[in-house]
Amino acid sequence: MEKFEGYVFAALCSTNFLVSCLIFSKVTREQREAYMDEIFHVPQAQKYCQGKFSEWDPMITTLPGLYLVSVGIIKPVAWLSDLTGEVVCSTAMLRFINLLFNCGNLYLIYLLLCKLHPREKTRTASRRVLSALSLSAFPVLYFFNFLYYTDAGSTFFILFTYLMTLYGCHKAAALLGVCSVLFRQTNIIWLAFCAGTVVAAKMDEAWRVEHTKKREEKSAPSQVPLSLCGVKRVLHFSAEFLSSPGHLKAVLLAAWPYAAVAVGFLAFVVWNDGVVVGDRASHEVCLNFPQIFYFFCFCLLLSFPVSLCFQRVLRFLQAVRKQPLLFLLLASASLLLVWKFTHVHKYLLADNRHYPFYVWKNLFRRHQLVRFLLVPAYIYAGWNFLDSLKSRSLFWTLAFFSCLLVSTVPQKLLEFRYFIVPYLMYRLHMPLPSLPRLAMEFLLYAVVNAVTIYIFIAKTFRWPYSVETQRFMW
């Protein structure tokens, strides 16, 4: 059965690569020149191709991981193929690097699903394969496989880092985490998540041992009641765990490679006087708490074939009926956060090439009360998000949610690309859906991808003050 699963997955990988190559060919023919952020990335990579490693465009905000990997792949291939001139590091050749990352992402997602959902192998094989194919076609990530952006490579190294963490190869995970940070500095948060899962696993083990002694074998961290008593219980256990020399030693022995990378990153931040490398004026840090609400809604919309069901809606209504005070407090807190902490980036109001511009224009700017009227939807989306992960332990959930907050809230710009990694982490850790639901998810992603790529290619427009052709994109 495992051999058959391998053959099926290999066939799907080949088909995925072939289809992606055909789309890539069409996109490149229609948009030969660098577009959007490519006007910074492509010339910088070409300088690296020419050996000019000391030259740097101050408008680039990320570290040079994408350019180093591109040169490391293209140069040897060019040497072996006797390619010369501008073809070697042309825009098309550089973009093709992301198709290779796309194949790598598909394989890593499959391996992660095998590791995270190992039970009943014969019954879950087809669901793992289809889940991997579906997630590799995740619309926001898939679209940027055809442009020279950092998203495909950044996602690849984060997924690879997490896979090594799950297999207990913490030194390799830390090294791969450094590679991911070279693609995008905010990936340090997801490296911290990997370290957090190591700590969470140790805490889960200690919790099970403690409650086995108390003859509470059925008690698990994920089953702690959401009440003041439950909070006190977890806080008391956490204090005992952190004050135990034995537990601290076990955590440090496993997590020290991640801590070493964190120290190095802090040194970089001090030396660089910030996280962003260039164009700091357009990348301000602020407390934009509604970003977490946007992310919850984003997850609900793109995962509804596998996460939304009538029974879950009924459970939500029952939860509201049983704990009205809790949901009233959540609604009040959400209204306050929306009122006091909504920030709008200048790009969101001015750049009509991106889909978030139209979301903001046609929804949030309809009326000043719209952002408050959406609070019930935010609460349900957040509840659905947490309910989908209820099979995970409380300590794992706390680690994930903490990193999710840190990765989304400080972002002033509403940019769907920032949601790629947290969404994939969320979706990977959900219980494996049924085959019909997975088929619906894949069909949804395929349709969205077809529409967005068609719009990018066919629905061009021009700005009044520019002769360049403009295109719509994520």
What's the pLDDT at 10?
85
pTM for the whole thing? Answer: 0.92
Distances (CA, A) of 443 to 128, 138, 234: 16, 11, 42
C-alpha 351/C-alpha 11 separation (Å) is 41
Q: In 3D, which of 147, 408, 465 has the Cα closest to residue 289?
A: 408
Nearest to 239 by CA among 198, 203, 215: 203
pLDDT recorded at residue 461: 92
Instruction: Say if residues 137 and 420 touch (Cβ distance below 8 Å).
Output: no
Write out the two tokens for 353: 């090439």
Instruction: Tell me how far apart the terminal alpha carbons of the chain are, to the nearest angstrom.
Output: 39
* pLDDT at site 29: 94
Residues 6 or more apart whose CB falls under 8 angstroms from that of 14 comprise none
User: What distance in Å separates the CA atoms of residue 234 and residue 396, rounded to the nearest whole number?
Assistant: 13
CA distance 271 to 427: 36
According to the model, what pLDDT value does residue 84 have?
A: 63
| Per-residue tens of pLDDT for the chain, all 474 residues | 467 777 788 888 889 999 999 999 999 999 999 999 999 999 999 999 888 898 998 889 899 999 999 999 988 887 777 666 566 788 999 999 999 999 999 999 999 999 998 865 556 778 899 999 999 999 999 999 999 999 999 999 999 999 999 999 999 999 999 999 999 999 999 999 999 999 988 888 887 776 666 655 445 554 554 555 556 677 777 777 777 777 778 888 888 999 999 999 999 999 988 888 877 777 778 899 999 999 999 999 999 999 988 889 999 999 999 999 999 999 999 999 999 999 998 888 888 999 999 999 999 988 889 999 999 999 999 999 999 998 888 889 999 999 999 999 999 999 999 999 999 999 999 999 999 999 999 999 999 999 999 999 999 999 888 888 999 999
| Calpha distance 150→145 (Å, rounded) | 9
pLDDT at residue 275, rounded to an integer: 86
Determine the pLDDT at residue 152: 96
Token pair recorded at residue 83: 């390619």
Question: What pLDDT is recorded for position 263?
Answer: 95
Candidates 446, 438, 423; CA nearest to 295 is 423
Residue that has been written with the tokens 């190095």 in this structure: 264
